[in-house]
A and B are shown apart, each in its own frame.
Chain A
Amino acid sequence: GAVVSQHPSWVICKSGTSVKIECRSLDFQATTMFWYRQFPKQSLMLMATSNEGSKATYEQGVEKDKFLINHASLTLSTLTVTSAHPEDSSFYICSALNRAGEKLFFGSGTQLSVL
């Protein structure tokens, strides 16, 4: 079964609203999680590294005020797309690092459509 749960799988929202996406490690503690974005027929682009108990590290060109990341517990990281616009429509996918086994597990992704 899945070891990383990502919710919701898909979401449709109106322009200007905020959307929260959850990434949860189910049977291990993940002090580090990663958020990726994938436009149609393109590759995954790393957006940010989410660190439990500290601020996220954003990749160049990613607006931290636009994409709020919170990693308040050892099993949960959230990505909030604030004031979403149609150009934010994309597939968002997280991964969680299991340091005990030095393995990376991906969530199933969230398809965001902003109308």
Chain B
Amino acid sequence: AQKITQTQPGMFVQEKEAVTLDCTYDTSDPSYGLFWYKQPSSGEMIFLIYQGSYDQQNATEGRYSLNFQKARKSANLVISASQLGDSAMYFCAGDSSYKLIFGSGTRLLVRP
């Protein structure tokens, strides 16, 4: 079974700076995927980035990159050049047959 842990309930970052949101996972599945989603106050879930367990390289999508450290079972999200619009809840999720198990989330606030 998957367990996703996000230990940062809230984070602040200065506009234009980079920020790292932590995520650790625990799974017995040999093959798994890790996702990051952004949830603004409107409630919609916005897909940001995906990392497969067998991917050799860390995933990147524009300003988002995933620092995947398999030995440490961590999949931290790095947001570079933060923008005011990045203020939102961020959820890390692990999948097992496309069933997503979510972490508790991190609320990010970008300061102008």
Contacts and interface: CB of A to CB of B under 8 A. Distances in A.
* A and B: bona fide binding partners: yes
Interface of A: 32, 34, 42-46, 49, 91, 93, 95, 97, 104, 106, 108-109, 111
Given A91-B43, A108-B44, A111-B43, A43 B100 contact: no
Contacts of A44: 45, 91, 100, 102
A106 B46 CA distance: 8
A108 B104 contact: no
Interface string B2-21: 00000000000000000000
A49 B99 contact: yes
Contact of A108 (B37, B43, B105): B43
Interface centre among B44, B91, B101, by most chain A C-beta atoms within 10 angstroms, is B44
Q: Choose among A44, A46, A91, A109 the residue with the greatest number of B CB atoms under 10 Å from its CB.
A: A44
Chain B interface extent, by class: 10 to 19
Contacts, number: 40
Contacts of A49: 99
Interface in B59-107: 91, 98-105
B43 A95 contact: no
9 A-B pairs with the lowest CB-CB distances in the bound complex, closest first: A106-B45, A109-B43, A43-B102, A44-B102, A108-B44, A43-B104, A97-B98, A43-B105, A91-B43
9 contacts: A32-B98, A42-B104, A43-B103, A44-B45, A46-B100, A106-B37, A109-B44, A109-B45, A111-B43
B87 to A, nearest CB: 15
A104 B34 CA distance: 13
A46 B91 contact: no
Nearest to B44: A108
A49 B99 CA distance: 8
Nearest to A59: B99
Given A95-B45, A97-B98, A109-B45, 16 more contacts: A32-B98, A34-B99, A42-B105, A43-B102, A43-B103, A43-B104, A43-B105, A44-B100, A45-B102, A91-B43, A93-B45, A104-B47, A108-B42, A108-B44, A109-B43, A111-B43
